[in-house]
Amino acid sequence: MRSLGRTRRKAGEALTAWALLTPSLIGVVLFMLVPIAIVVWLSFYRWNLISPPRFVGLANWVGIMTNGRFANSLLVTGAFVLIVIPTQTALGLFFANLLHRRLPGSGFFRTLYVLPWVCAPIAVGVMWTWVLAPSHGALNTLIGHRIEWLSDQALALPSVALVSVWSQVGYVTLFFLSGLGAIPETITEAAQLDGAGRLRIFWTITVPLLRPTLFFVLLTTAITAAQTFDTVYVLTGGGPLYATDVVGARIYYEAFQNHEFGSAAAMALVVFILLAAMALLQKLYFDKRTTYDLST
Amino acid sequence: MTSLRERVATPARAAGVYALLVAGALAAIGPLLLTVSTAIKTPSDFASHSALAPPQPPSTVNFAELLGGSHNLTHSIWVTAAVTAFVVLTQVTFSILAAFAFARLTFPGREPLFWVYLSTLMIPQAVTVVPLYLMMVQFGLRDTFWGLVLPLCFGSPYAIFLLRERFRAIPQEVVDAARLDGVSTLDMLVEIVIPLSRPIIVTLTLITVVSQWNSFMWPRIVTSGTQWQVLTVATAALQGQYNSHWTLVTAAAVIAMAPIVTLFVLTQKHIVRSILITGFR
């Protein structure tokens, strides 16, 4: 009798659980898993939405590998990530160390630093097209020279990277600040008593103890940077001459401007694989190195 | 024995730290302030003085032109507000329901299913936009309100993950005591679990508001024309069309940023906490 009641309760509980899960399950299946299946299917088809889809075998894959444009976009994305990530990580660490001293007003500065990050990337991009405009732009007026920040072949990518760094530094700073807060002061004080200098303490104590934070920050910011789209879309549209044609923009233009949905799908899958590989590599690297448990 | 913090507190050192902090703050908000300053200039004021000169005098002419007149950003503001409100409400609600099921109910297949949810966190947006667009075309939902919100409104696996952690932390005795009193499963969610998890729910709500208000790629893809044009799409379109009408273009950027900046300043502590907890982007 008792076990029957329990069985019935369990069955009721399972039923309730599935009812509660239904909406999110629809979302996960229909808008995440089905799209992955479609992307794989689509990468073997040619489809422009006007004529019916046509099976083309590996043509899209061969096409994106041999046509230099996709390779270019991967290189541009790689260069972009290599400029953005070290710069904003170094700046984030720097400002987090300043804020960590908790001088009066630190909270106010922290707020100001995070402000760019909450602004819509599109609005940030629009704002910076003016700041970087050749004539009547804020930066050129300030330095008194006319520099084509966004239309010079060599300057465009670093300029776009600068805008990206500007909007992300506060976010990175915030995480390092919270990581620094978790390091017990007794450790740094002990090192100081042993006569270690400020820089020595930073490299031999702070950085190793920050490793979990560093891992998280590097992983999320690298994945975000590799998918950059909004800022590039308004700042340069991928130009001049594909100098800022990051892969997020390439997929967009391939699909929604050239209406080559099949090859856009193949590109998207390559990006998926590369991002997963990047996450795995970073994890292996950080796992190999010791992390310290400060919970005691 | 001097601690790091005492050592830094010498006036000269503190002054050095402040100088660096101020330099950082200027770099962070300088461009924003200059943009606002340009947005409140008349076009002729902007053309006849240095780009860095203060407005003489401040004017609302650009905002009037954008919010009224032919640009009608007011319409885009309403569309954005409606989309944001709908997505936030549905996404947070459905995420709570799912997280509660994963955290406090037992049913066959719970763990594997949760792993399926978690694995979707690996999927980048760049991968799903193309198929999602094709699906919306097939459903006949291109350029509709439903096309804008449908892929987002059924809940977010990341929110589910975070909420599940919190829901699991509620002591079993509390739940058991409620059970003994004959509280139904749904009442338990509404009367015990949700009130006890208020901070994380507020956090998730805020962060969803910010990301939804700022989102661009999906609205840009799934809508065309002005009927369902959200603010980010309208701003980008304006910049393309009025390239070098800088007072107008910067005013549009200010309109797009102002609500979120205000929300951030008002709920600063919460949002900072949200960022730290969710690591959200």
Averaged pLDDT for residues A208-230:
87
pLDDT of residue A289: 64
The answer to whether residue B17 neighbours chain A at the CB level (below 8 Å) is yes
Neighbours of B122 (CB within 10 A): 12
Per-residue pLDDT at A200 exceeds 90: no
| Model pTM score | 0.88
Task: Note whether A265 and A43 are within 8 A (CB).
Answer: yes
Which chain B residue lies closest to A277 (C-alpha atoms)?
Answer: B122
B29 reaches A (C-beta below 8 A): yes
What's B55's DSSP letter? P
| Closest CB from B105, B216, B221 relative to A13 | B105
Q: Which helix (H) or strand (E) holds B131?
A: helix B125-138
Q: Confirm or reject contact between B108 and chain A (CB < 8 A).
A: yes
A249-275 tens-digit pLDDT: 999 999 999 998 999 999 999 999 998
Cross-strand bridge partners of residue B50: none
pLDDT band for position A19 (50/70/90)? very high
Which residue segments constitute the domains of chain B, with CATH numbers given?
Answer: 4-61 (no CATH), 66-278 (1.10.3720.10)
Is a pLDDT exceeding 90 seen at residue A210? no
Residue whose C-alpha is closest to residue B133's, from A264, A130, A60: A264
Each as own residue / partner, the long-range contacts of residues B237-242 (CB below 8 Å, 24 or more positions apart, any chain) are B238/B66, B238/B71, B239/A126, B239/A129, B239/A234
Average pLDDT over residues A112-125: 92
Select the residue of A133, A178, A275 nearest B246 (Cβ to Cβ).
A133
Q: Using pLDDT thresholds of 50, 70 and 90, give the confidence band for residue A187.
A: confident
State the smallest CA–CA distance between residue B168 and chain A in angstroms: 15
A268: closest CA of chain B, how far (Å)? 5
Other beta carbons less than 10 A from residue B179's beta carbon: 14
A32/B123 touch (CB, cutoff 8 Å), yes or no: yes
pLDDT digits (tens, 9 = 90+) for A44-58: 998 888 888 889 988
Say what percent of chain A tops pLDDT 70.
Answer: 94
CATH architecture type of domain A68-288: Orthogonal Bundle (1.10)
- Predicted pLDDT of residue A295: 47
CB of B156 within 8 A of CB of B121? no
Per-residue confidence band for A4, with pLDDT thresholds at 50, 70 and 90: low
Question: How do the domains of chain A map onto residue ranges?
Answer: 2-42, 68-288
* Residues in chain B within 8 Å Cβ distance of A260: none
Q: Are A246 and B143 in contact (CB under 8 A)?
A: no
Closest residue in B to A122 (Cα) is: B232
Please tell me which residue, B259 or A196, carries the higher pLDDT value.
B259
Answer yes or no: is pLDDT of A82 > 80: yes
Pairwise CB contact (< 8 Å): B4 & A122:
no
In this structure, what token pair is assigned to residue A215? 């891992």
pLDDT recorded at residue B2:
45
Q: Which residue has the tokens 């302030």?
A: B33
User: What per-residue confidence (pLDDT) applies to B1?
Assistant: 42
Count of A-B CB contacts under 8 Å = 292
Chain A residues touching residue B272 (CB < 8 angstroms) = 110-111, 114, 174
Tell the residue number behind the tokens 């967009």, with chain if given.
A252
Interface test with B, best of A22, A87, A118 (most B CBs within 10 A): A118
In chain A, % of residues over pLDDT 90: 49
pLDDT value at A246 more than 90 = yes
Distances in whole angstroms, Cα of residue B151 to Cα of each of A53, A272, B148, B170: 24, 19, 8, 31
DSSP letters, chain A, are -HHHHHHHHHHHHHHHHHHHHHHHHHHHIIIIIHHHHHHHHHTTEE--SSSPPEE-TTHHHHHHHHSHHHHHHHHHHHHHHHHHHHHHHHHHHHHHHHHHT--TTHHHHHHHHHHHHHS-HHHHHHHHHHHT-TTT-HHHHHHTS---TTTSTTTHHHHHHHHHHHHHHHHHHHHHHHHHHTS-HHHHHHHHHTT--HHHHIIIIIHHHTHHHHHHHHHHHHHHHHT--HHHHHHTTT-STTTT--HHHHHHHHHHTS--HHHHHHHHHHHHHHHHHHHHHHHHHHHHS-------
Average pLDDT, chain A: 87
| 8 A C-beta contact, residue B65 and residue B71 | yes
CA distance B172 to chain A (A): 16
**Token pair listed for B270:** 């919460």
Q: Is the pLDDT at A290 greater than 60, yes or no? A: no
Q: Does B260 touch chain A (CB under 8 A)?
A: yes
pLDDT, tens digit (0-9, with 9 covering 90-100), for A221-236: 888 899 999 999 999 9
Q: Do A31 and B128 touch (CB under 8 A)?
A: yes
Residue (of B194, B187, B201) closest to B91 by Cα position: B201
The per-residue pLDDT for range A128-154, each reduced to its tens digit, is: 999 998 888 888 888 888 889 999 999
Instruction: Name which of B29, B128, B246 is nearest A35 (Cβ-Cβ).
Output: B128
Task: Provide the chain B residues 183-202 that lie in CB contact (below 8 A) with chain A.
Answer: 185-186
Question: Which of A254, A249, A241, A248 has its CA nearest to residue A156?
Answer: A241
Provide ipTM, 2 decimals. Answer: 0.87
Q: Report chain B's terminal Cα–Cα distance, integer Å.
A: 43
How do the pLDDT tens digits run along chain B, 281 residues long? 444 444 555 788 888 889 999 999 999 999 999 999 999 988 888 888 888 888 888 888 888 888 987 788 999 999 999 999 999 999 999 999 999 999 988 899 999 999 999 888 888 888 899 999 999 999 999 999 999 999 999 988 888 988 998 898 888 888 888 888 888 888 888 888 999 888 889 888 888 998 899 999 999 999 998 899 999 999 999 888 887 789 999 999 999 999 999 998 888 877 777 777 766 54
